[in-house]
Amino acid sequence: MTTDDAAMKRDMAPRPVRILGMLTGPGAFRLILAAAVFVSHVSRIGIGRPAVVLFFMLSGYWVTRLYQGWSASTWTFEASRFLRIWPLLAVTAIVVWLVEMAGILPLHGNLLSTLGLLGLAVRQGDVIGVAWSLDLELQFYLLLPFCLWWINRRTDGRATRAALLLAVLTVAGAIGMANGWLTALAFAPAFAGGVAIRLSDWRVSTRTAAISVAVFVGIGVLLWLVPATRMMVIKGDVPWWLDLAYTAWCLTLLPYVAWNVHQPSPPIDREMGNLSFPLYLVHFPLIVLAIRWAGDGLAGKALALVLALVATAILYLFVDRPFERWRSGLWRRRRDTMVAEARDSPP
């Protein structure tokens, strides 16, 4: 048997399922964050907002990676990212709105405002209760090409330009929040952290990643022990600067995120990551429905979990996957057309 044959046989051999490894992949991490948002909405534990901050951090890495490998124009990139999040949002919002019109759920938000998405976090009117974060995600998509152009416009001074841009965006976001305007700029450091991981190709050891988790948890314990900061862990008053504080706290997990995005992602891990999106979108209206039917005790929360899991599976199989296959095929066909046009054009 040749060396290549031996390697092929080794690669094809069945491997034991490693539960810990399944929980540390990039997809599993996103699913855990979506589950954290669910837990936050059925309890007084304030882990929902930090989970959203970490979503933005992960997005900074993955979207930058996608953009760097994008062979078509910037506007097609923006259109592709919009079509990744909007169809599932639209279906979810329309179904929830129809349920509200039927009197099964209390009226909440405005359907047209939700479907408009961009600027939703400022103008309010969110039908499903969590679409505000998708508005901010879309804003990050629009900002990313400009930010990368600014950073890479010259070979020297990139770090200085990046730091200056981040400072300006963060200050602008803080001023906006202080005046009641929630925009993507409020979470600019988190998204920028993910971008920096990608641009620097930062590799982190398992030990360093574990230390960052320990620091994050330790700060959480201190926040809980101090009465003035307990509302960051146990829900209480919500001052305007709370999201800025959450972002600063979550930046201690940047080494873990840098480690996580470089972990292997087998098919099961990618499926877990894909499931996080429909779970995030659909869970809040179903919590409201379950509490209305079964009360806000354990029975209502258990019912909310069951309903959320069932609805997630339905949305994933019959909406998200078909739309994603269509979207992927659309840009693949466009790339093939561009290649053919370039080949057939005169020199």
Tens of pLDDT, residues 172-210: 999 999 999 999 999 999 999 999 999 999 999 999 999
Give residue 347's pLDDT: 37
Across the chain, mean pLDDT equals 90
Torsion angle (degrees, nearest 10) of CA 233, 193, 278, 323: 170
Give residue 36's pLDDT: 98
Q: What pLDDT band is residue 124 in, cutting at 50, 70 and 90?
A: confident
Judge whether residue 318 has pLDDT over 90.
yes
Within 10 angstroms of residue 107's Cβ, the number of other Cβ atoms is: 10
Judge whether residue 344 has pLDDT over 80.
no
Judge whether residue 338 has pLDDT over 60.
no
Distance CA 169, CA 294 (A): 45
How confident is the model over 20-40, as a mean pLDDT? 90
Q: Do 115 and 90 form a contact (C-beta atoms < 8 A)?
A: yes
Give residue 18's pLDDT: 52
Judge whether residue 16 has pLDDT over 50.
no
Single pTM value for the model: 0.90
Q: What pLDDT band is residue 22 in, cutting at 50, 70 and 90?
A: low
How confident is the model over 130-134, as a mean pLDDT? 97
- Number of residues in the chain: 347
Within 10 angstroms of residue 183's Cβ, the number of other Cβ atoms is: 19
How confident is the model over 328-336, as a mean pLDDT? 68
Judge whether residue 237 has pLDDT over 60.
yes
Judge whether residue 11 has pLDDT over 60.
no
Q: What pLDDT band is residue 304 in, cutting at 50, 70 and 90?
A: very high
Judge whether residue 97 has pLDDT over 90.
yes
Q: Do 257 and 193 form a contact (C-beta atoms < 8 A)?
A: yes
First to last CA, the chain: 50
